[in-house]
Amino acid sequence: MDGSWLLWALLAFPAAAALGCLAARTARLALLVASAAGASWALLAAAVAVAAIFGEPVSAGAGWLYLDALSGFHLGVLGLVFGAGSLYAWGYFRRELAAGQFAAGAARRFGALWSGSAAAMALVLASNNLGLMWVGVEATTLLTAFLICAHVNPLSLEAMWKYLVVCSVGVAFAFVGTLLVAASARGLGVEPAETLLWTRLAGSAGRLDPAAMKLAFVFLVVGYGTKAGLAPMHSWLPDAHSQAPAPVSALFSGFMLSAALYCVMRCLPLVEGATGNAGWGRSLLVALGLVSVLAAAAFTVFQTDGKRLLAYSSVEHLGVIALGLGLGGLGAFAALWHTLNHSISKSLAFFSVGRLGQLHGTHDLEKLGGALRRSPVWGAGLLGAMLALIGVAPFAIFMSEFQVLRAAAEAGEADPWQYLTMALFLLGLGIVFVGVLRQAIAVAWGGPAEGDKEADGADGGRERPALVDALLVFGGLALVLLLGLWLPAPLSEAIGRAAAILGGRP
């Protein structure tokens, strides 16, 4: 049976949900449509991902849409993050509705933009044409920008404009890079409509013009790396994460950054093939990965705002993924595994700090002391997520980071300079570990400053969490713990198949 309809359904479903949100008469109905449609679409995304990973690649639209193991794996991660975020958003905004802080117009806009963002990110993953993939990335920029200022105030507006300006410049670089990829393919003799089809380019990578492809990759890495939050192009990220509502921050760090880095992954085999697999493109990713880890470490230790702390943590972890990709082999497998682990842990962290922020009226970690005592569910979620993100064993991030370290050690046997990579990587991780652990202990078991009424909130900071809240927190913690103790064979095979497209191995 032709599976092309799956790709069309993947794109049409959230687009229809966006229209449904706009047509909703009340704020409650708009949020209900967005949440229910998001959770349902996540199930569809999971089914399509499984079909693409373990079956034959799915193609549609005269080859312009294409889903293989690499894009299928990322689609599965997107479905997980978006589905959980949709369920969380219902409870998050429902409380604001009850307090009269979220008007019907704002709810309709949020629901439409939330669903539209899913369609745009799915388009990025499903695009076989590199130009269409660029369109998808630009669409995510425009749609998610207005999600940042779902609560309109001077700081959120400033963060939105900063995000728009910086990422638009980055996407412009990526556009130039895409044109240069087309220029590098002039000697292939393909039809103009097929010049930017990834499947055609990957099959003839060795015949691409190496000089043009090198220049293209530099523009693509800078452009998409800006959207992915890699240092030193990450200036927009802390402000956007700190001002956006918690479900939006979770979607940003949980997947949108990874979607931008996915675009770099797609171009990596092209530049490596064009340059004779000499590691030219991989070296660039190793350098950017190390810079991101070290830059994030330097900023993380000074953060007291919970959401800004998590934003710099995203810079670190996207750097880890870039480093793994650059090391190749086992590193590519570890990078994809780390993508999944980070998405789960970071989404849970933003869910928790967002709800605690609602309860206590602040995201200042110094004022959230004793969260484990005053809000056991969300306090446990934030503590567990922070421990997972800094690589405490046996959480899954410890295991994927250890595999990146192993890949660097293996690379060091052929290139002794990679031992310096190992040392710098460990230095960055060590600084982050100490800095965040200090904050995690204070948040969990400390106490707010004496006389700090804001930290206690109107109700003393206590609540009876809903069942879905407990499921999100403890389900997420159990998952990230399970993946550290045991990597199921089907998941290992899925990651292995995706990594093989990048020249990696388990």
- Amino acid of residue 307: K
Name the percent of the chain lying above pLDDT 70.
96
Task: Give the range among 70-79, 320-329, 461-470, 483-492 with minimum mean pLDDT.
Answer: 461-470
pLDDT class for 506, splitting at 50, 70, 90?
low
pLDDT digits (tens, 9 = 90+) for 222-258: 999 999 999 999 999 999 998 999 999 999 999 999 9
For the chain, give the percent of residues with pLDDT over 90: 77
pLDDT (tens digit, 9 = 90+) per residue, 97-128? Answer: 877 778 888 899 999 999 999 999 999 999 99
pLDDT-derived band at 151, boundaries 50, 70, 90: confident
Average pLDDT of the residues of the chain = 91
From the number of C-beta atoms within 10 Å of its C-beta (0-12, 13-18, 19+), residue 190 rates as middle
Asked if residue 451 has pLDDT above 50, the reply is no
pLDDT the model gives residue 360: 87
**pLDDT for 504:** 63
Helix (H, G, I), strand (E, B) or coil at 65: strand
Q: Residue 36's closest CA among 1, 92, 83?
A: 83
Mean pLDDT of 60-79: 95
Query: Which pLDDT value is given to residue 261?
Result: 97
What is the model's pLDDT at position 443? Answer: 86
DSSP 446-467: --PPTT-HHHH-TTTT-----H
Query: Is residue 454 very low, low, confident or very high in pLDDT (cuts 50, 70, 90)?
Result: very low
489-501 helix and 27-54 helix, angle to the nearest 10 degrees: 80
Burial of 210 (0-12, 13-18, 19+ CB in 10 A): middle
- Average pLDDT value for residue range 448-452: 51
Q: For 210-221, write each residue's pLDDT tens digit.
A: 999 999 999 999
Here the tokens at position 158 are: 């400033």
pLDDT at residue 349, as a whole number: 96
Q: Note whether 177 and 264 are within 8 A (CB).
A: no
Cβ neighbours, 10 Å, residue 385 = 28
Distance of alpha carbon 342 from alpha carbon 223, whole angstroms: 22
User: Which pLDDT score, from 0 to 100, does residue 442 have?
Assistant: 86
If pLDDT is split at 50, 70 and 90, which confidence band does 190 have?
A: confident
The answer, yes or no, to whether residue 175 has pLDDT greater than 50, is yes
Confidence (pLDDT) at 113? 96
* Strands (E) located in 334-419: none
Section 68-87 average pLDDT: 96
Q: How far apart are CA 291 and CA 312, in angstroms?
A: 13
Task: Give the mean pLDDT of 464-485.
Answer: 92
Residue type, 146: F
Whether the per-residue pLDDT at 64 is higher than 80: the answer is: yes
Q: For residues 128 and 202, give the distance between their C-alpha atoms in angstroms, rounded to a whole number.
A: 11
Instruction: Check pLDDT > 60 for residue 453.
Output: no
Position 251 scores a pLDDT of 95
Backbone angles phi, psi at 305, to 5 degrees: -80, 125
Q: Answer yes or no: are the C-beta atoms of 336 and 495 closer than 8 Å.
A: yes
Question: Which residue's structure tokens are 């900023």?
Answer: 299
In Å, how far from its chain's centre is CA 368? 26
Q: What is the pLDDT of residues 294-312, one digit of tens each?
A: 999 999 988 889 999 999 9
> E strands along 34-190, which residues?
58-60, 65-67
Least confident of 153-157, 254-258, 263-267, 492-496: 153-157
Q: Tell me the pLDDT band of 448, cut-offs 50, 70 and 90.
A: low
Report whether pLDDT(500) > 60: yes
Structural Rg of the chain based on CA atoms: 22
Average pLDDT over residues 352-366: 90
Residue range 155-181: mean pLDDT, rounded: 95
Contact between 2 and 42 (Cβ < 8 Å)? no
Tokens of 36: 């229910």
- pLDDT of 411 > 50? The answer is yes
Confidence tier at 361 by pLDDT (50, 70, 90): confident
Q: Is the pLDDT of residue 460 over 60?
A: no
pLDDT at residue 30 greater than cutoff 90? yes
Burial class (CB within 10 angstroms; exposed 0-12, middle 13-18, buried 19+) of 412:
middle
